[in-house]
Structure 1
């Protein structure tokens, strides 16, 4: 796909990229054409609307061609541009991290009142984010509550490096620290909120995931064990040693896992306080408190 096969004007370039994505069976070719073209030509939607004849130089077309080929081969569009927005903030991605996805914003919405209440009552709120990845959940929370600070754990050094870069990019590095830890193993102290978007896909289901997820998201961030519930068992069993008085636990779940996750936490002495649904109106996040 040589670059001279693509138009050298912004408006026609967008149309050409959309048509090629459409022919490749991409779900939302118009949106993804915009994302790729705007990123690699350093333009905006307004530019395309008000100046569709704006010239696109050869180096930019080369970049668009390369990105288009990668997308047609199955690489997710946000992996190609190297970042994705979550809860109004940009997040750099890396091979060690999941993409933060819009459904996970339900977890942030569920946890924010806890963070605000603890901050109002105590003047601060300490958050522990287990399996932080890009840092999206913890960083979204502390970005919205200036009195909050977070400790973020992950078993991947690369993920923690990515999360730290994102914290610095948002200007919140002074309220965000990382800990290389397998769940609670190296964690110290107590926290007003323990939050996690853990791996929750059953091992046997991983192979059946869309190629964009299976081949590009890190496996250990997806595989939740034989029934997808192993991380919840670990969190429920060990969290009491790390919760402050009146502390809470908030977790993302697979949309069919509500009853199983509630049973796990109930058996460890917790009560379900609230739930949140995702954009598709499916059960997506659960908030627990000790009995």
Structure 2
């Protein structure tokens, strides 16, 4: 069954795939911000993950090692951010913006000579007869392992933040780093670990773009996905399951506009292409207007530097 020339099962399955890079980056940034650190360098870390993962996969022939290489490449870049903000107490906003600019430039340099090369294919998981179930087989049982891992990571982050002692400590650091320090917790160490986790997620998200979504390397391949991930954290009010909904919403809008173009919609292509970003901005404006509840859920120490001697 098709609606306006669009197959609903293919649409839903495609939006789940389209949402993966943003979902991974956003859930990583949520953990970073829960620790009280505002890292605006998500876009830079994603594109570093994209090129690092692409190069690793091309030379090793292994997509799995490609995702590992993407995570490590982004983590290496995030160490610069961690050093500047947590040790030298640089401004987090300015440092994050600089990280994005550096990542965009350095990834372009690393990518010289890799244009036009195809990476090894990331296969879908074999579910056998389950794939033949009408609608649900296409939606639920036709994806690669990263799609399922992204949902599992969201569930794991939710469980850790809500039920574990480590999650309680992380949230305590984000709410009041001075109180956490007074209780004997290593604030800087905890924040650095959170930054590294966020970078690993962003790097995997970037690697997914260059290895699966657009299996090739081109400059600026992330196309603003890191900024959308930052917006989704605010849209989700710093709650993991809402991050999943926000990422799927953005992925759905992206896929829908592509399907409308393919179906010969009379809406100008330019309007369809800008619609995902426009709708994201509108959602943020609505949620931020007046005394929106999104701001009430932000960690109290978000963006504030910590020094033990204060």
The normalised TM-score by structure 2 is 0.21
> Which structure has more helix as a fraction of its residues?
2
Q: Which has the higher strand share?
A: 1
Does 1 or 2 have the higher relative contact order (CA < 8 Å, sep 6+)?
Answer: 2
Larger CA Rg, structure 1 vs 2? 1
Normalised to the residue count of structure 1, the TM-score between the two structures is: 0.22
